[in-house]
Amino acid sequence: MTTTDISNTDAPAARGGSAAPVPSSRRGSAGRRTGSLRGGAAPYAFIAPFYVLYVLFMIIPILAALVLSLTEWVGLGMPRFIGLSNYANLATDSSFATALANSLVYTLVAVIIVVPCALLIAQGLNAKGLRMRDLFRVAFFVPMVLSPIVIALIYSLIFDRDYGLLNASLDALFGLPHVDWLGDPTLAKGAIGFVLLWRTVGYLTIFFLAALQNVPAEQYEAAALDGAGRVRTFLAVTVPGIKPISAFVIVTSFIGAAQLFDEPYLLTKGGPGEATISVAMFIYRAAFERQQFGYAAAAGVVLFIIVFAVSQGLNRLLGIGRDS
Amino acid sequence: MSTIDAASASPAPTAPPGRRAERQKSPRRFRVRRGLLYLTLCALLVVFILPLVWALSGSFKQRGDIFATPPSLIPSPATLENYRNLLTTQPFWSWFAISIGTAAIATVVSVFVCAMAGYGFAKFRFRGKRILFAVMFSSLSIPFAVILIPLFILVVKSGLANPWFALIVPWVAPAFGIFMMQQFIVQAIPDELLESARIDGSSEFGTFRRVVLPLLRPSLGALGVWSFLQSYNSFMWPLVIISNTSQYTLPLGLNILYASENRSYDLVLAGAVLASIPTILVFILLRRQLLEGLVAGAVKG
């Protein structure tokens, strides 16, 4: 992909109000043609502040997490070295297994349900001559600018068994009995999945819409001339055209959902029982409710390894960061 | 809310002039399809906006009316009592000040750091660039939960648990922001401009400050808004780092109202509305600034 492509893909994304970069061949744009100036020490001076902060608040904490994960520490006194015991304990901890399984569900919801929904909505919004495109775009995006606590409390009012809007509406409209949305293990997971969808789908739609608007119209005309049907056109023109942004959307959705904390913590406190606890919540509980800092750090390292490995795999699979 | 009325009032599938050709091809099918599209989009609009409208209306309802059956969207009687109670019985302004203040500092720092690094990556060739870029890129796949505990220990043990410092720490160097800046700089700043500044004897940093930053202003606004939202809306980090209730941020403040025994939903809804005002305002600003950036980029690029 050339630099011209980059500026093209970038522009509609920016107009869409998304504040994220568009990931068209990053390594390429960084490494190949764009850097034209030779500045001696200057470029290092420009990137230095980032790397200083990065080392201080990212690299050092990660190394510290690795060391801490090999110790037993309650937050006071000196950590006691215990080797890999924390990891051995995690392997047999049923709470951790539940947390991992739940986080897997959240990532699947994000990648298999939310991302395709966003693409569908973007397709709809991309229809030629659509009126009020901007209104829809803004309305779908608004949840993303709200605080998770605000969203959680609105939805706790909606899902409430006795007084909630959802049950009240279902009762008033169809006379249905009240359902305990947040009190049933399966329904609670579904409710959290729905809130995740509600909060993120509009944001992702912005990316897809930008990508779709960037697919050259001539390609669609060519496909139409060739007599390609809808499915054919989608597979042969749309999918390749939006691939870089889709890859980015999939990877960031995965990473976001893998570390989901706010929704389970606020909406269900991880319950009923541990039915909705996520890995991030498991880490939080171990550290800040039970003072098992070493154990929590080990769980963090496991999460890190999984997320890092999967996202690198996805990057490779989807071709992020490749030169062409 | 006027947006909803405007949306649902005109789902009529009147095709704009550009669609004449297609209309002639199969006017009925097209119109049906267009109608279905508007219907679906408006249904989605309701799903997205209804909870917010309902919460907004709830914040003006008397406590007992919030859960009235059947639920209503129009508060009757409407009252400002919830807002008055929130502002008089809770340290709302203190939460607000800490949230806004720390988010503002984090925003300024991160915008500056990202603009500098983005410029370094966009406009220079230097040894180690590929590997440094790859290192930054991979930091996107580091979950915050991993560094949560060491960062907590670092901040607490180093005596830096002053909220003004602690609350900005996770947001000052987002790799995300660097990509954004790099893309904008490649697009909006021609090399020739930098060359000529150099020929005029401008120092490297002088060029950055006097030439690059002014041209980047709309994009800086966009990044700024993104950074602001990240910090202002954050919940997990303030939750672990702030233990003193007098230093609570807005999300923590709302959380204690919400998690309290009697669930003061009246106060909570009023607080939610007030807390959302800055982010929604800031979002409106983001849109305008981004459009300007686009126009500027298109003219010069």
Between chain A and chain B, the number of residue pairs with CB atoms below 8 A apart is 356
Residues of A in contact with B262 (CB under 8 A): none
B126: left (phi > 0), else alpha (psi -120 to 50), else beta? beta
The candidate with the shortest Cα–Cα distance to A21, out of B277, B133, B278, B279, is B133
For A10-60, write each residue's pLDDT tens digit.
333 333 333 344 444 444 444 344 556 666 788 899 999 999 999 988 889
A216 within a domain of the structure (yes/no): yes
Question: Which candidate from A11, A54, A169 shows the least CB-CB separation from B71?
Answer: A169
| Interface confidence: ipTM more than 0.85 | no
CB–CB contact B19 A129 (8 Å): yes
At residue B126, what are phi and psi to the nearest 5 degrees? -155, 160
CA neighbor of B187 nearest in space, from B58, B266, B301: B301
Q: Is residue A113 domain-resident?
A: yes
In angstroms, the CA B148 to CA A61 distance is 8
User: Which portions of chain A are predicted below pLDDT 70?
Assistant: 1-39, 320-324
From A19, A145, A303, residue closest to B143, measured CB to CB: A303
pTM score of the predicted model? 0.84
Q: A196: which chain B residues are within 8 Å (Cβ-Cβ)?
A: none
pLDDT at residue B7, as a whole number: 38
Domain membership of residue B18 (yes or no) is no
Is residue B1 situated within a structural domain?
no
Q: How many residues does chain A have?
A: 324
Decide if A307 is inside a domain: yes
Is residue A247 a part of any domain in this protein? yes
The CATH number given to whatever domain includes residue A239 is: 1.10.3720.10
Cβ within 8 Å, pair B51-A58: no
**What is the Cα Rg of chain B in Å?**
25
**Which residues of chain A does B1 touch, with a Cβ-Cβ cutoff of 8 Å?**
none
End-to-end CA distance of chain B, in Å? 40
Tokens of A193: 């999945």
Contact present, A65 and B153 (Cβ < 8 Å) = no
Give domain status of residue B22, yes or no: no
| CA B43 distance to own-chain centroid | 25
Q: Domain for residue B108, yes or no? A: yes
Domain of residue B156, residue span: 81-300
pLDDT digits (tens, 9 = 90+) for A147-170: 999 999 899 888 988 878 888 888
Which chain A residues are Cβ-neighbours of B37 within 8 angstroms? 124, 127, 130
Q: CA-to-CA distance for B7 and B177, rounded, in angstroms? A: 34
Which DSSP category does A37 fall into?
B
CATH of the domain at B236: 1.10.3720.10
| Residue range of the domain that includes A174 | 103-318
Intervals of chain B under pLDDT 70 = 1-26, 69, 160-161, 261, 288-301
Is residue A202 domain-resident?
yes
Q: In this structure, which amino acid lies at residue A111?
A: V
pLDDT value, residue B23: 46
Q: Is residue A87 part of a domain?
A: no
Question: Of B139, B183, B251, which is closest to A22 when you measure between CB atoms?
Answer: B183
| Contact by Cβ (8 Å): B22, B70 | no
Note whether B61 and B79 are within 8 A (CB): yes
**Position of tokens 């806004």?**
B100
User: Residue A233: what pLDDT?
Assistant: 86
User: Is B258–A156 a contact, with Cβ atoms under 8 angstroms apart?
Assistant: yes
pLDDT in tens, A55-74: 988 889 999 999 999 999 88
Report the domain count for chain A.
Answer: 1
Task: Identify any residues that bridge with B124 across adjacent strands, giving them in sequence order.
Answer: A37
pLDDT at A35: 57
Among A310, A294, A106, smallest CA distance to A188 is for: A106
In this complex, do B134 and A27 lie within 8 Å of one another by their Cβ atoms? yes
A107-135 residues labelled b (16+ CB within 10 A) or e (exposed): bebbbeebbebbbebbbbbbeeebbbeee
Q: Is B27 helix (H, G, I), strand (E, B) or coil?
A: helix
Please, what is the average pLDDT of chain A? Answer: 83
Residue in chain A lying closest to B69 (CA): A168
| Tally of domains within chain B | 1
Q: Which of B58, B64, B268, B67 is nearest to A164 (CA)?
A: B67
Output the DSSP codes for A41-103: THHHHHHHHHHHHHIIIIIHHHHHHHHHTTEE--SSS--EE-TTHHHHHHHH-HHHHHHHHHH
The answer to whether the CB atoms of B147 and A10 lie below 8 A apart is no
Q: Are B146 and A301 in contact (CB under 8 A)?
A: yes
Q: What residue in B sits closest to A198 (Cα-Cα)?
A: B48
